[in-house]
Amino acid sequence: MQFPRLRYNIVALGALRGTNYLIPLIAIPYLTRVLGADAFGKYAFVQVIMQAFILLIDYGFSLTATRDISANRKDNDKVSKIFSTVWTAQWFLGFVSFLFLLGLLLTIPAMQDDLLIYIGGFTMVLGQLLLPLWLLEGLENMKAVALVQALGRLSVLPFLFFVVDGPDDTFWAVTIMGSGMVCAGLLSLFWIAYKRMIVWQFPTLADVVMELKTGFQLFFTRALQKFFYIIAAVVLNSVSGAASVGYFNLAEKLRGAAQALLQPVSQAMFPRMCHLYKHDRSGADALVKRSFFLIISLAGFATLLLWAGADLIIHLMAGPEFKPAVPVLQWLAFALLLSGFSTVFGVQIMLPNHMNKMYNRIVIAGTLASIVVMFILVNVSGAVGAAAATVFQELAISAVMGWYLTTKGFLLVSRAKN
């Protein structure tokens, strides 16, 4: 089952995800102090909006395209066709995203005041378009791309420290961070071309439409989950001001950095689980058991670290002005642990076994319920309420997924009885 190769991919994905979170974390102590709470909140709000567009261009392809490429990775012609079709679909969605952003800027007066900041932030979307990570994950070939990603994103950090020196430089802060993603994407494309991993095949309109149809269900589910964070940012901005968005965003970034410990294992496992559940069920059961204990152990350690060290972490990362972010981070620490369960249940068992419909229903129901809870808690407790609603979301989704898989005999406890 090529476990050494799987371990290499986990390490490479860990380096890649670590870079994606580490570089913004390197910038945060500087930006929070130079920009201040209000300007940093504006910087954070632009990032939230751009993440919504990034979600649109991902469109579920990180799961569907990865699964399809993994199943056909020995057929270069088939892989090339999948790549060409999916990438074309993503560029179409990128164009739609830019038009939608222009529409927002032309119709919402509050956004017009920061028009250049939003335009600069779109470099983040462009950088995501330039990196077909799903291709590399499906082929389980991640080692070199982790290095070029790190080089690309690190190359812009000196410009950030030299150019950004006050609240009026929010545009440059957003644009420089986005430019790092563009550089990383371009380097990744050069490496893919150098290795001749694909041969471009012009896709038909019918093929592109079919890929969009295939990815729609998972896109809708993931979009709804992301919509939760967008709503939280919008409600916080209107109820408590930009500084409150900054507190929540800072804590969420720190939670995301800790969660980077889990994502490499999950991402590397996904194509392997798709292959094993199709060809070797006993091997799949054995591997998911090892994955479960690894992910929950890492999640538990990270949760304890964030909860116990929240005060020190926030002080070191952002300074005393961001003290209100401490209880926010402590709540989000528990969401991190719960997400470990939903990762194993959903991404490593349900999706490889084509339980897409039930997966979607559980996530949609849990997210809608948490949005209702979030509206109530944000009005009562601000950023802390948004964090508590995040915990409710993860708890609801994990619990229902666990119950469903138990009834189907997929969980190890249930299978041991058979």
Report CA-CA distances (Å) from 67 to 63, 72, 135: 6, 9, 10
Query: Which domain does 258 fall in, by range?
Result: 3-417
pLDDT, tens digit, 9 for 90 and up, residues 74-92: 788 888 998 999 999 999 9
Residue 7 has pLDDT above 70, yes or no: no
Average pLDDT over residues 59-88: 84
CB count within 10 Å of CB 38 equals 15
Tally the domains of the chain: 1
Q: Which of 84-93, 282-291, 377-386 has the lowest mean pLDDT?
A: 282-291
pLDDT, tens digit, 9 for 90 and up, residues 383-416: 898 999 999 999 999 999 999 988 887 775 444 4
Q: Round to whole Å and give the CA distance between 82 and 61.
A: 11
| pLDDT on residue 415 | 45
| pLDDT on residue 135 | 85
| pLDDT on residue 364 | 86
With cut-offs at 50, 70 and 90, classify the pLDDT of residue 38.
confident
With cut-offs at 50, 70 and 90, classify the pLDDT of residue 43.
confident
344-376 in b/e form (b: 16+ CB < 10 A) is bbbbbbbbbbebbeebbebbeebbeebbebbbe
Q: Round to whole Å and give the CA distance between 404 and 294.
A: 22
Q: Which of 128-132, 159-163, 244-248, 280-284 has the lowest mean pLDDT?
A: 280-284
Cβ atoms of 226 and 55 within 8 Å: the answer is yes
DSSP letter, residue 280: -
| pLDDT on residue 413 | 45
With cut-offs at 50, 70 and 90, classify the pLDDT of residue 2.
very low
The pTM for the full model equals 0.64
Cβ atoms of 262 and 343 within 8 Å: the answer is yes
More confident call, 66 vs 89: 89
